[in-house]
């Protein structure tokens, strides 16, 4: 995989270099062709060539002889040049501002020589035409210099072809070396990224520490964060599976007892010699055990719906004080709890909370039930309504610290509940109900000093 990625990057670099060379070559050839087509038209307007070519506008014929006009004299002086007008035989007919040692006659060979090269006085010559005459414009110490190349088209084309081929090969070799180094550096972290993702795919969530991450540092950092999150989820999943298995084991055990009772008493009801009182007693046992089983399954269904946030809430504005007072009154009127000391206080009579009364009553009752049934008969339970929530405290034996940290976990049953029938879902359901209303539940406890549950309202 590593060399496959490196090869792809290397090929990409070579293709880019090759394309750039081709484009540069095309541009050079195009500019050369354009230059040849334009000839000297693109020479700057202040050049000697342009000045000489257009100087014929300053020449006039006087008495059948060519002459330079006053404007022409001024133009020559301004440009720093002089002029000689020649006839067809190369004799100087007239001149203007020419030096005294300037020749009076030019042979064709001399004209060619001085046009191609400077003379001994470093004068650059330019040639123009006027009527049947030719004229020479000399510019002493001109910044312009004429360079002459002699080229053979065939050999020149062959040389250029070889040069371009050599340049192409050298550039591709350099690009290959640079591309190989660049690609190896670039593909190394990508290979590590692929290996890292493969590791996560195989559910290996260990964190990688890399020294040289380069531009991929944020990616590796995010992958490590993802790995930590997945590891936390994996731990939570394993933990929930264990708790669920424990819960199923507990529920199976709890269901066996009522089922055995129902089956046993159902078999007894078949006997004809039972008294009406015995039949009624057996029927009550069957009914009680059936209700327990129904409550168990209802708790399972409710915790599942709350966990998946599929429980619709029938919210209505409710005065917390009167709501909790009704719960306490119902408890005091229940013969089952008449032996307990239950008190009620309120410091916030106007406190309101939008709640599903049925579900919230179940949550509050469950907190109170836990305080009553997990302690001795002589405990005191205090329920207080405050401005920010509801406080439920007892003077019971308290909860061990190793149980307290798991108290709200689903399927968990504390070490002090072995002899108490329950599903292990009560506290989790109560907590989920409060949180579904936007509230929060906190619990504090100390062995021998009781337990306090606080329901914080949003």
Q: From CA 206, how far away is CA 413, in angstroms rounded?
A: 33
What pLDDT does 423 receive? 56
Q: From CA 432, how far away is CA 7, in angstroms rounded?
A: 57
The distance of Cα 454 from the centroid of its chain, to the nearest Å, equals 42
Query: For the stretch 94-109, what's the b/e string if a residue is b when 16 or more beta carbons lie within 10 angstroms of its beta carbon?
Result: bbbbbeeebeeebeee
| Beta-bridge partners for 55 | none
Using CA atoms, how far residue 239 sits from 99, 201, 234, 328, in Å, is 111, 21, 8, 37
Q: What are phi and psi of 171, to 5 degrees?
A: -60, -40
Which pLDDT tens digit goes with each residue over 159-217? 777 877 877 787 778 777 776 776 666 667 777 777 778 888 888 878 777 666 566 67
What is the Cβ-side half-sphere exposure of residue 431, based on CA atoms within 13 angstroms? Answer: 15
What pLDDT does 3 receive? 60
Which pLDDT tens digit goes with each residue over 330-373? 888 888 887 888 899 999 888 899 998 988 998 999 999 888 88
SS (H, E, C) the chain: CHHHHHHHHHHHHHHHHHHHHHHHHHHHHHHHHHHHHHCCCCCCCCCHHHHHHCHHHHEEEECCEEEECHHHHHHHHHHCCEEEEECCCCEEEEEECCCCCCCCECCHHHHHHHHHCCCCCCEEEEEEEECCEEEEEEEECCCCCCCCCCCCHHHHHHHHHHHHHHHHHHHHHHHHHHHHHHHHHHHHHHHHHHHHHHHHHCCCCCCCCCCCCHHHHHHHHHHHHHHHHHHHHHHHHHHHHHHHHHHHHHHHHHHHHHHHHHHHHHHHCCCCCCCHHHHHHHHHHHHHHHHHHHHHHHHHHHHHHHHCCCCCCCCEEEEHHHHHHHHHHHHHHCHHHCCCEEEEEECCCCCEEEECHHHHHHHHHHHHHHHHHCCCCCCEEEEEEECCEEEEEECCCCCCHHHHCCCCCCCCCCCCCCCCCCCCCHHHHHHHHHHHCCCEEEEEEECCCEEEEEEECC
Strand pairing report for 380-386 and 341-346: parallel
Question: Residue 231: CB partners within 8 Å, gap ≥ 6?
Answer: 205
Show the tokens assigned to 208.
């990688």
What pLDDT does 415 receive? 47
Using CA atoms, how far residue 326 sits from 83, 168, 346, 365, in Å, is 126, 94, 13, 11
pLDDT lower than 50: segments of the chain: 39-44, 415-420
Cβ proximity of 385 and 348 under 8 Å: yes
Show the tokens assigned to 392.
């439920």
């Amino acid at each position: 995989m590593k060399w496959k990625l490196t090869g792809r990057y290397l090929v990409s670099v070579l293709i880019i270099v090759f394309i750039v060379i081709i484009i540069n070559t095309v541009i050079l050839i195009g500019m050369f062709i354009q230059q040849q087509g334009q000839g000297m038209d693109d020479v700057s307007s202040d050049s000697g060539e342009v000045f000489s070519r257009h100087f014929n506008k300053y020449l006039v014929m006087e008495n059948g002889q060519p002459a330079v006009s006053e404007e022409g004299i001024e133009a020559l002086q301004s440009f720093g040049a002089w002029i000689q007008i020649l006839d067809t035989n190369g004799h100087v007919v007239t001149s203007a501002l020419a030096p005294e040692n300037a020749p009076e006659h030019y042979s064709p060979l001399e004209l060619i020589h001085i046009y191609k090269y400077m003379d001994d006085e470093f004068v650059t010559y330019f040639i123009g035409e006027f009527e049947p005459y030719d004229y020479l414009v000399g510019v002493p110490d001109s910044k312009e210099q004429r360079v002459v190349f002699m080229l053979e088209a065939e050999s020149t084309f062959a040389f250029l072809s070889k040069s371009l081929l050599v340049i192409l090969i050298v550039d591709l070799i350099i690009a290959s070396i640079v591309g190989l180094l660049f690609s190896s550096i670039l593909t190394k972290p990508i290979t590590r990224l692929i290996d890292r993702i493969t590791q996560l795919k195989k559910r290996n969530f260990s964190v990688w520490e890399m020294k040289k991450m380069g531009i991929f540092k944020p990616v590796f950092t995010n992958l490590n964060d993802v790995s930590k999150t997945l590891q936390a989820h994996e731990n939570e999943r394993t933990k929930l599976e264990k708790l669920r298995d424990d819960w199923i084991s507990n529920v199976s055990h709890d269901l066996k007892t009522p089922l055995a009772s129902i089956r046993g008493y159902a078999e007894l009801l078949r006997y004809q010699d039972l008294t009406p009182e015995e039949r009624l007693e057996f029927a009550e046992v069957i009914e009680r055990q059936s209700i327990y089983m129904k409550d168990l399954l209802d708790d399972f269904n409710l915790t599942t719906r709350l966990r998946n946030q599929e429980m619709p809430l029938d919210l209505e504005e409710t005065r917390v004080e009167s709501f909790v007072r009704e719960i306490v009154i119902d408890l005091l009127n229940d013969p089952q709890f008449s032996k307990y000391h239950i008190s009620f206080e309120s410091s916030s009579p106007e406190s309101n909370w939008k709640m599903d009364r049925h579900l919230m009553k179940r949550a509050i009752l469950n907190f109170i039930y836990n305080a009553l049934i997990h302690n001795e008969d002589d405990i005191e339970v205090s329920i207080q309504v405050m401005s920010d929530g509801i406080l439920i405290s007892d003077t019971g034996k308290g909860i061990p610290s190793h149980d307290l940290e798991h108290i709200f976990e689903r399927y968990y049953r504390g070490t002090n509940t072995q002899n108490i029938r329950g599903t292990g879902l009560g506290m989790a359901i109560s907590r989920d109900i409060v949180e579904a209303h936007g509230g929060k539940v906190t619990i504090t406890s100390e062995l021998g000093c009781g337990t306090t549950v606080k329901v914080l309202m949003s």
